[in-house]
Amino acid sequence: AQSVTQLDSQVPVFEEAPVELRCNYSSSVSVYLFWYVQYPNQGLQLLLKYLSGSTLVKGINGFEAEFNKSQTSFHLRKPSVHISDTAEYFCAVRVTGTASKLTFGTGTRLQVTL
Amino acid sequence: DAGVTQSPTHLIKTRGQQVTLRCSPKSGHDTVSWYQQALGQGPQFIFQYYEEEERQRGNFPDRFSGHQFPNYSSELNVNALLLGDSALYLCASSLRSVSNQPQHFGDGTRLSIL
């Protein structure tokens, strides 16, 4: 079975400051890794994904994430946040080579203020 | 190109009633997955449908059932509703033959049980 841990339930940050949202996972088999964003009263929108290859992946809205196999982590970063980045962020994994279910973390609320 | 669409947007039911939620996948997708997202939690996998059959199921009771139609659209049925069934229900679609493709999510149906 797979599991995902997002240690920070809330992350407050000032506009234009950098931010890192942490994600650690556990799995006995290889997984794909994803970050999704959820704005109020909306579904999930894909930010970025790691499938294979380069461990640094870039996504939409200036976000990037780095896959670290030895630490089983996939932290999300942005060098300068904007008010509009305020949302809930979810890290998720899925077993490679399958179209199987996503396993999500509990989410991190990013609150950007002036 | 229409994305994943879900109906209705909101629904209010009372305990013991039955409910049906509907989902139309993104054009070109053939696999539909359903997730339950309780308030303040990450989405939890309910089940997945492909070729009109349930292919994978999460840890949900038999009160939760589903169906997939020949046009790939899907329904989620919940019987004998409990207060704890109050949640956002998300539908996600994908193309089964491309295993590394991320799932695309709809905006969900907000179900409230009184």
Query: For residue B57, how many other CB atoms are within 10 A of its CB?
Result: 14
**Hey, how many other C-beta atoms are within 10 angstroms of the C-beta on B13?**
16
Among the partner residues A46, A100, A107, nearest to B56 by beta-carbon distance: A100
d(CA A3, CA A103): 7
What are B13's two structure tokens?
């039911």
Mean pLDDT value of segment B8-15: 97
**Residue A111 confidence (pLDDT):** 97
How close is the nearest chain B Cα to the Cα of A101, in Å?
7
The encoded tokens of residue A11 equal 């992350």
Question: Can you tell me the distance from the alpha carbon of A77 to that of A51, in angstroms, rounded to the nearest whole number?
Answer: 18
Interchain contact A56–B (C-beta under 8 A): no
Task: Identify the contact set of chain B against chain A, taking CB-CB distances under 8 A.
Answer: 4, 31, 33, 35, 40-45, 48, 50, 56, 58, 90, 92, 94-96, 98-108
Mean pLDDT, consecutive 10-residue segments, chain A of 114 residues?
94 97 95 94 92 92 95 97 97 87 96 96
Q: In this predicted model, what pLDDT tens digit does every residue of B37-78 receive, in sequence order?
A: 999 899 999 999 999 999 999 999 999 999 999 999 999 999
B41 and A45 within 8 Å at the Cβ level: the answer is: no
Q: If residue B61 lies in a helix (H) or strand (E), which one and from where to where?
A: none
Give dist(CA B111, CA B114) in Å, integer.
10
